[in-house]
Structure 1
Amino acid sequence: MIKLNEIHKVYTQGKVGFHALKDINLFFKKDETIAILGPSGCGKTTLLNILGGLDTPTTGDMVIDSKLTTNFTESEWDYFRNHRIGFVFQQYNLIEHLPIVENVAISVKLSGVSHKDSHKRAIELLTKVGLKDHLQKLPNQLSGGERQRVAIARALINNPDIILADEPTGALDKKTGNEVMDLIKEVGKDKLVIIVTHNKKVANKYATRIIELEDGRVKSDTSPKDEKVKIILKREKNRKKLKFKEAIRLAYYNIKGKKWRTFLVSLGLSVGIVGLILIDALFNSIRTGLEQQTAVIQNNPDIYIMADDESTTIDLALTAIENTNYFKEVFFAPRQDFQIVKNITKDSNLLSNVGTNVIGTPQSTEIKSVFTNILGDGRLPNSDNEFALPLDTAKKLINSNIYLSNDEIWELLKNNIYLIHTDFEYSVAYIPSIETNCIYTSMWDGDTNNLPLEYNETELGTITENLNALSPYRSTPIVVGDKNVFCGDYSEIYWEIDYDTPVGEGTEFKLVGIFDNKLFKEALFSEDTINSIGSKNSYIYPSSEETNPIDEFYRYRAFLKNDNVSNKTDIMRSLEERGYIVRENVDFGLDLFSGITNLFIYILQFIFSSITLIAVVTGSLMLLLILYIGVVERRREIGLIRSMGGSRSDVRLIYTGETTLIGLIAGFLSILISLVLVVILNIYIYNNYQELVLRYLPFVDPKKVLSINYAKLIYAIIGSILLAIVSGLIPSIIAGKKKPIEALRNE
Structure 2
Amino acid sequence: MQRVAIARAIANDPDILLCDKPTGALDTETSVQIMELIKKLSKDRLIIMVTHNPELAEKYATRIVNFQDGKIQHDSKPFKPEDEKDTFNLKRTKMSYWNAIKLSFTNIMTKKGRTILTAFASSIGIISIAVVLSISNGFQKQINTTMSKALAKYPITISQTATDMTSMSERDDSDKNVKNHGYVTAKKDPSEEAQHTNKITEKYVDYINKINPNYANNVSYQRAVNLNLLSKGYGKVERVQFLSADPDQNASMSAMRSQAMSSMGIGSSVFPTALNKKKGSFLKQNYQLLYGHWPSKTTDLVLVTDNKNTVNINSLKNLGFDVDNKERIKFSKLIGKEFSIVDNNDYYQELPTGMFIPKKANSAMYNGGSKLKLTGVIRPKNEDSMALLSTGIAYSDKLSQDVINDNKNSAIVKAQKKTNRNVLTGQSMKASEKKMIMQTLGGSSIPTGIMIYPNNFDDKDKVLDYLDKWNKGKKKADKIVYTDMSSAVTTMTGGLLGGITTILVAFAAISLITSMIMIGILTYTSVLERTKEIGVLKALGARKKDITRVFDAETFILGVFSGVLGVFIAYLLTFPINSVIYKITDLANVAQLDPKAALILIIISTVLTLIGGHIPARMAAKKDAAIALRSE
TM bin, normalised by shorter chain, reads 0.3 to 0.5
TM-score (norm: length of structure 1): 0.37
Structure number with greater Rg is 2
